[in-house]
Structure 1
Amino acid sequence: MSNNFLQHFRHQQQEAAYEKAMDTQCPFCSVQCTMQLLEQREGGRKKYKVLPLKETVSEARLCIKGRNAHQHALHRERILHPMKRVGRHFEQISWDDALHFIKEQFTSIQEQNGNDAVGVYGGGSLTNEEAYLLGKFARVALKTKHIDYNGRYCMSAAASAMNEAFGLDRGITNLVQEIPYSRCIILAGTNIAECQPTLLPYFQKAKENGAFIIALDPRETLTTKLADMHLKVKPGMDAALVNGMLKVILDQNLYDLSFIEERTNGFEELKEHIESLDLNEIAASTGIQREQMERAAVHFATGSTGMVFTARGVEQQTHGHATVRNFLNLILVTGNIGKLGSGYGAVTGQGNGQGGREHGQKADQLPGYRSIEHPEHRKYISKVWGITEEELPGKGVSAYEMIEKMDAEEIKALFIMGSNPLVSTPNANLAESALKKLKFLVVVDMFLSETAKHADLVLPSSSYLEDEGTMTNMEGRVTLRKAARSCPGEVRHDWQILCDVAVQLGKKTYFPFQSAEEIFNELRVASKGGKADYYGITYKRLEKERVFWPCPAPGHPGEGRLFTESFAHEDGKAKFLTVANHKPKEQPNRQFPLYLTTGRVMSHYLTGAQTRRSPALAAREIESFIRIHPSTARAFHVQNHSLVKVESARGSIQARGLYDESIREDTVFVPFHWGDEQNINKVTYHALDPVCKMPGFKVCAVRIAPVVDLSRN
């Protein structure tokens, strides 16, 4: 055996034995599971293995998305340099040229059209530091009032409902670990088994402990199969169904009068409203038999503990705010809050959906969940930022309203960070028209997304493996995600990009940050005294533990369970709201006879910009699909596995038809993870909830037809 061969063999052994361990946490859903990515060299190639880490929320579980998250971060399509549009193509340019280009364009547009002619559009996956800095960037560096983010399409209904009812919005009012102690659980418009699968064992444990689980969903899912009772409600009629349950509870005197009298306001008005309703009429309008409503109501009211979880199925509606308020009415009437195993949970969708909505990305909000229209709040934040109150812009408009202002050419330039609105926005054809009318569009992203393809300038941002910062999970528990990997190419962190642009615009004094921790320390001060108070949380502390907010002082333990003694309104009491038996604004008709509802699948996330670049995930769901009842399919000449055209008054797409006997016959379902010709948001309804400005994604009227009608050949 030659010396050369032996040396080669030893070299291979050394490479195979080499491992780099990278501790991180999943970038996808709001559970924020922790993991370790092991990088191994074998025969000159790199291989990766993912291990769950023990932590407090998912108990060392990972779902298929988390196990394959690294694939998109390491994907060959990552943008590694600033890219400028030249004609129909993009060309690599230097960072200096890119930053100068932004300054030149933004300055010119604002000089000609005013500061508000430039808009900023953020995302719920940004770290707390970057969400905070984006809000400051819009209002201090650009001096524009126009900033909002894609969380408007995710959490706005639940957030506004909790703020009004309880005085405080935090995803779950209890700890996740309390779920097994609940005797009755309502899962309303949430498919936890596919969207937050690492939480499912908590609900399974609750069932083992004797809990009765009620699921509300117009279709059968992995989550409804877990339930003891599935209420297959007609799309958009959830608020009416809750009114029916409330009527049963009041008629049978199953409500908690002592809790109501001591800790709530507005019960008499609610009672008078509920007494005027007819259960038979509610049953007819919801598609739920009266006996089912009665059984569900009695179970929830008579259990010693109870929890309600809502998600996009009931929230992404033109009356989503009121629907969530009615679920909160149900909790308050039965006294199921502020104690072990009792409370409410808004199942946050995006990785930092909770933290992203607390620190200034929303049009009406300042850091710490302060209001931009409140004089004292404006005064405090202006002082923290070192500007005058007069310099701080006022309230802007919601995300979809920004799209409308772009289409009307009132907003002439847009800075997008961490979002893909061309796919996530309802009535997406209008969004595409609006993007094309912009004089200047900057997109900060890891990939050339559907939105980025329309940009004048694309800036490369870091992935979850590379970017240090804090995230806040669905419980309100703050975590520190360390950077596990160096940035590839000329990639920069989102916070660095914001500071670089601000410096170009002459605002270096306000953006001197050299690390994420420096930004967090300013965020702590900015949030101090606000509803979302992070002042007592530090990086040093987060290296040892995960801390709940509110945490007003360094020695404070943080509040895990909220509202044990009082609510966050000045008088300490929660508020009831009378809710009408709402119907969706768009109803099926002769031209468009079916309901369309949308949602997620386990292997994909949001617009799919990341998960569709993960080979392991993309292989599981290679294309979009439409689930349709076989009887409905036959009526429209649609064959199983054939291509189907789905059309509304706004647009159409094509998707693969799949028969599903468990779905309502008047309803079809399409997931929203695909773009271009399979972008279902070309079809969805854009009318907004009057309170929270949530679009009506979940209910619209459509018709279907085979792309090729084989039945008539």
Structure 2
Amino acid sequence: MNGTPTHCPYCALQCGMTLHTSGAGAVRVVPRDDVPASGGGLCQKGWTAAELLTAPDRLNTPLMRRGGDAPLEPCTWDAAFDRVAAEAARLRALHGPDAVAVFGGGGLTNEKAYQLGKFARVALGTSQIDYNGRFCMSSAAAASGRAFGVDRGLPGPVTDLAASGAILLAGGNPAETMPPFMRHLAGMRDGGGALIVVDPRRTATARQADLHLQPVPGTDIALANGLLHLALAEGLADEDYIAARTGGFDAVRTVVNAYWPDRAERITGVPVPVMREAVRLLARAERAHVLTARGAEQHARGTDMVTAFINLALALGLPGRAGSGYGCLTGQGNGQGGREHGQKADQLPGYRRIDDPAARAHVAAVWGVDPGDLPGPGRSAYELLSALGTVGGPRALLLFGSNPVVSAPRAAHVEDRLGALDLLVVADVVLSETARLADVVLPAAQWAEESGTMTNLEGRVLRRRRAVSPPDGVRTDLEIIGALAERLRAPGKWSTDPETVFAELRRAGAGGTADYSGITYARIEAEGGVFWPCPSTGHPGTPRPYLDRFPTPDGRARFVPVEHHGPAEDVDAAHPVYLTTGRVLAQYQSGAQTRRVRALAEAAPGPFVELHPDLAGRLGIEDGADVRVESRRGAVTVRARLTDAIRDDTVFIPFHWADEGRVNLLTNPALDPVSRMPEFKVCAVRLRA
């Protein structure tokens, strides 16, 4: 049997695995112990990842719809490409270049994310490109950018966490979302460190914590400001660090003065003694981390929520110290790299701003086009999806690696907008809920059938290696993009070889914030991954940024004052219960992949609503009974799961399922004014048996 070293296709921990193939075509997964982030661990999703390669409903031929209500039928690749290119050209001629939009995904390799951004701006000339990572990391990215001058997931290798004396994790549940990550937290606790978890639910992660803070959903700013108030009142702030390495603290001090302990408790529901203990654990540790995840980020004030926790970390002197700092637990497999190379509406490769003349000139020179021909910033993800088919909005959408019919907020509206398009093109592995609506479906290769690079939650660039060939009739995303660019007569080169595309990515990103120019495939192979920024082949990479200075004009980190405003949609008499959403262990994202893996479908066969027995008693709901959950946007019917692990004013529904259990029919599309993140994590609902 032959073994190919690679990485898991799911979360941003990017656990190491070796794929062994047999003559019969079967693929066996074996964990690798030479990948520090996972240390030989895999979760159930990783162990079963190869099963999707031979899923019975795997797409292996292009499909086309001949008319509005006609069924999807097999067609040739030439017919599919000709239809897409002809329709795109027609719509651009009639309505301008922004008539055709592109939507990408946080699971695409760096090479595909880069090529997709280039394709949108050069082959189509459209500003209308964004990706589903906007729904994942954008608030943490925006908050980190304005505080530190750069967005990097963790402040050092994930192995640093085991040597920490205390970790505060706000809104994360890695015991279910990335289980091998928990070994680092367990190592910390074994060494005498303390884990503090902030979550409205007593999750699998919270059950392992030394301290669990259980706030009302949407009150994280008040909680973080209250924690900072206590730190200042008890003399726990690092005044020397604040003076030497930060700016703007006086304004933050003034704001948090108003979050005295009793007020913070009234807003959040977290008792003052628990808040006080959390602050003391963090402040007295020699090394400590403050980490956020989706629970603190997927809000209409998500950027400010993350900023409040960054302010706490800065006041305690954590960022820029080896073994300490603020970090974000990236969600999707390439959530970090996927947003660095041009999929976002406002960015060019290397994390350059698309409205920066110097950035435009540099990238245009690499692409061989005039800087004036590059479009400006476009709409963010939800705004783009909401504008589809409207007057002045895109008339066509090309979608790669995403399933917004399940994953987008106010999902019924998004589905309606997709149906209003003149042309919907979906490249995918299976016929997802979104692909079923398409006019053209292009069967794409999977993770084990193509090569490329991924950037994990540490900022470490890794190799994904091809282990098996795609089925006959299936093409890689790079091949699909290249063929469409050729038919659209796009200028420049459109290689389908991942290493060649990566070499161009390095040139396009050179000198940018996310500089990969010193990273090569050979270096990744030899070093087990390379941390960005890495501006030259002689540079060692940067596993711990900020040690000497922050990448801001004056080298200092920035405090930013933020105020609690509560959720965009609060509870009232008609909708008296908070809804929050999230993931479960055996499923991933929209479930388009994991729902097709037998063992995972058996472990988590369908959606449910988690509610406190006291709430269930008041509503006459029994455990296991069907429950109708309604918001101002829609309704779902799911099974009741009674537990005292959740607040009695809050219910939880995971978001991996479609049809009647599609929780994003309920969620609020209110957007953060900075990151444009929708408010997935809290809205008002009512329940009835």
TM-score (normalised: structure 2): 0.98
Q: CA deviation at 1:37?
A: 2.5
Aligned to 1:312: 294
Aligned to 1:12: none
> Residue 113 of structure 2 contacts residue 343 of structure 2 at CA under 8 Å; is this kept in 1?
yes
Q: CA deviation at 1:74?
A: 1.5
Q: Give the distance between the partners of 2:610 and 2:578, measured in 1 at CA.
A: 12
Aligned to 1:423: 406
Aligned to 1:658: 641
Q: Give the distance between the partners of 2:74 and 2:272, measured in 1 at CA.
A: 64
Aligned to 1:84: 64
> Residue 22 of structure 1 contacts residue 485 of structure 1 at CA under 8 Å; is this kept in 2?
no
> Residue 6 of structure 2 contacts residue 463 of structure 2 at CA under 8 Å; is this kept in 1?
no
Aligned to 1:563: 546
- Paired amino acid for 2:31: P
- Candidates 30, 34, 37, aligned match of 1:51: 30
> Residue 237 of structure 1 contacts residue 285 of structure 1 at CA under 8 Å; is this kept in 2?
yes
- Candidates 509, 517, 521, aligned match of 1:535: 517
Aligned to 2:87: 105
Q: CA deviation at 1:185?
A: 0.5
Q: How does 1:138-287 map to 2 (within 5 A)?
A: 138-287=120-269
- Candidates 24, 40, 52, aligned match of 1:60: 40
Q: CA deviation at 1:611?
A: 0.4
1:618 pairs with 2:601? yes
- Candidates 326, 330, 337, aligned match of 1:355: 337
Q: CA deviation at 1:641?
A: 0.5
Q: Give the distance between the partners of 1:569 and 1:38, measured in 2 at CA.
A: 46
Q: CA deviation at 1:252?
A: 1.6
Q: CA deviation at 1:20?
A: 4.2
CA deviations on 1:621-650 (whole Å, 9 max, x unpaired) are 111111011111121121111111111000
**Runs of at least 4 residues off by over 6 Å:** none
Q: Give the distance between the partners of 1:556 and 1:434, measured in 2 at CA.
A: 47
Q: CA deviation at 1:512?
A: 3.3
1:433 pairs with 2:416? yes
- Paired amino acid for 2:347: Q
The alignment partner of 2:424 has SS state of strand
1:332 pairs with 2:314? yes
Q: Give the distance between the partners of 1:34 and 1:182, measured in 2 at CA.
A: 24
1:341 pairs with 2:341? no
Q: How does 1:591-602 map to 2 (within 5 A)?
A: 591-602=574-585
- Paired amino acid for 1:485: V
The alignment partner of 2:668 has SS state of coil
CA deviations on 1:364-416 (whole Å, 9 max, x unpaired) are 00000000011111111111111111100000010000122115242110000
Q: Give the distance between the partners of 2:494 and 2:89, measured in 1 at CA.
A: 21
> Residue 72 of structure 1 contacts residue 610 of structure 1 at CA under 8 Å; is this kept in 2?
yes
Q: Percent identity?
A: 45
Q: CA deviation at 1:50?
A: 1.9
- Candidates 649, 658, 674, aligned match of 1:691: 674
> Residue 248 of structure 1 contacts residue 298 of structure 1 at CA under 8 Å; is this kept in 2?
no
The alignment partner of 2:447 has SS state of coil
The alignment partner of 2:388 has SS state of helix
With 269-278 and 374-383 compared, the bigger mean Cα shift is at 269-278
- Paired amino acid for 1:642: A
> Residue 463 of structure 2 contacts residue 521 of structure 2 at CA under 8 Å; is this kept in 1?
yes
CA deviations on 1:169-200 (whole Å, 9 max, x unpaired) are 01101111111111110010000111111110
Max Rg structure: 1
Q: Give the distance between the partners of 1:511 and 1:132, measured in 2 at CA.
A: 13
Q: Give the distance between the partners of 1:457 and 1:20, measured in 2 at CA.
A: 36
Q: Give the distance between the partners of 1:50 and 1:107, measured in 2 at CA.
A: 44
Q: Give the distance between the partners of 2:432 and 2:108, measured in 1 at CA.
A: 17
Q: Give the distance between the partners of 1:98 and 1:447, measured in 2 at CA.
A: 17
Q: How does 1:537-556 map to 2 (within 5 A)?
A: 537-545=519-527, 546-556=529-539
The alignment partner of 2:620 has SS state of coil
With 537-546 and 474-483 compared, the bigger mean Cα shift is at 537-546
Q: How does 1:391-470 map to 2 (within 5 A)?
A: 391-409=373-391, 410-470=393-453
Aligned to 1:5: none
Q: Give the distance between the partners of 1:341 and 1:513, measured in 2 at CA.
A: 41
The alignment partner of 1:653 has SS state of strand
> Residue 137 of structure 2 contacts residue 335 of structure 2 at CA under 8 Å; is this kept in 1?
yes
Q: Give the distance between the partners of 1:254 and 1:599, measured in 2 at CA.
A: 34
> Residue 627 of structure 2 contacts residue 637 of structure 2 at CA under 8 Å; is this kept in 1?
yes
The alignment partner of 1:344 has SS state of strand
- Paired amino acid for 2:143: A
Q: How does 1:120-131 map to 2 (within 5 A)?
A: 120-131=102-113
CA deviations on 1:637-681 (whole Å, 9 max, x unpaired) are 211111111110000111111111111000000000001221100
> Residue 180 of structure 1 contacts residue 341 of structure 1 at CA under 8 Å; is this kept in 2?
no
Q: CA deviation at 1:48?
A: 4.6
Q: Give the distance between the partners of 1:448 and 1:48, measured in 2 at CA.
A: 22
- Paired amino acid for 2:300: T
Aligned to 1:300: 282
- Paired amino acid for 1:388: D
Q: Give the distance between the partners of 2:541 and 2:19, measured in 1 at CA.
A: 30
Q: CA deviation at 1:553?
A: 0.4
> Residue 403 of structure 2 contacts residue 590 of structure 2 at CA under 8 Å; is this kept in 1?
yes
- Candidates 611, 618, 635, aligned match of 1:628: 611
Q: CA deviation at 1:40?
A: 4.0
> Residue 329 of structure 1 contacts residue 576 of structure 1 at CA under 8 Å; is this kept in 2?
yes
Q: Give the distance between the partners of 2:268 and 2:59, measured in 1 at CA.
A: 48
> Residue 407 of structure 1 contacts residue 433 of structure 1 at CA under 8 Å; is this kept in 2?
no
Q: Give the distance between the partners of 2:312 and 2:83, measured in 1 at CA.
A: 54
- Paired amino acid for 2:39: E
> Residue 106 of structure 2 contacts residue 335 of structure 2 at CA under 8 Å; is this kept in 1?
yes
> Residue 407 of structure 1 contacts residue 430 of structure 1 at CA under 8 Å; is this kept in 2?
no
Q: Give the distance between the partners of 1:403 and 1:512, measured in 2 at CA.
A: 27
> Superposition RMSD on alpha carbons, in Å?
1.1
Unpaired runs of at least 5, structure 2: none
Q: CA deviation at 1:300?
A: 1.3
1:672 pairs with 2:651? no
Aligned to 1:641: 624
CA deviations on 1:29-62 (whole Å, 9 max, x unpaired) are 0011121223346xxx665532111222111111
The alignment partner of 1:443 has SS state of strand
- Paired amino acid for 1:226: Q
Q: Give the distance between the partners of 1:496 and 1:115, measured in 2 at CA.
A: 23
Q: Give the distance between the partners of 2:286 and 2:186, measured in 1 at CA.
A: 18
TM-score (normalised: structure 1): 0.95
Q: How does 1:569-580 map to 2 (within 5 A)?
A: 569-580=552-563
Q: CA deviation at 1:573?
A: 0.4
> Residue 249 of structure 2 contacts residue 559 of structure 2 at CA under 8 Å; is this kept in 1?
yes
> Residue 485 of structure 2 contacts residue 494 of structure 2 at CA under 8 Å; is this kept in 1?
no
- Candidates 262, 273, 289, aligned match of 2:271: 289
1:518 pairs with 2:497? no
Q: CA deviation at 1:575?
A: 0.3
Q: How many residues were matched structurally?
A: 684
1:70 pairs with 2:71? no
The alignment partner of 2:678 has SS state of coil
> Residue 174 of structure 1 contacts residue 344 of structure 1 at CA under 8 Å; is this kept in 2?
no
The alignment partner of 1:544 has SS state of helix
Aligned to 2:485: 502
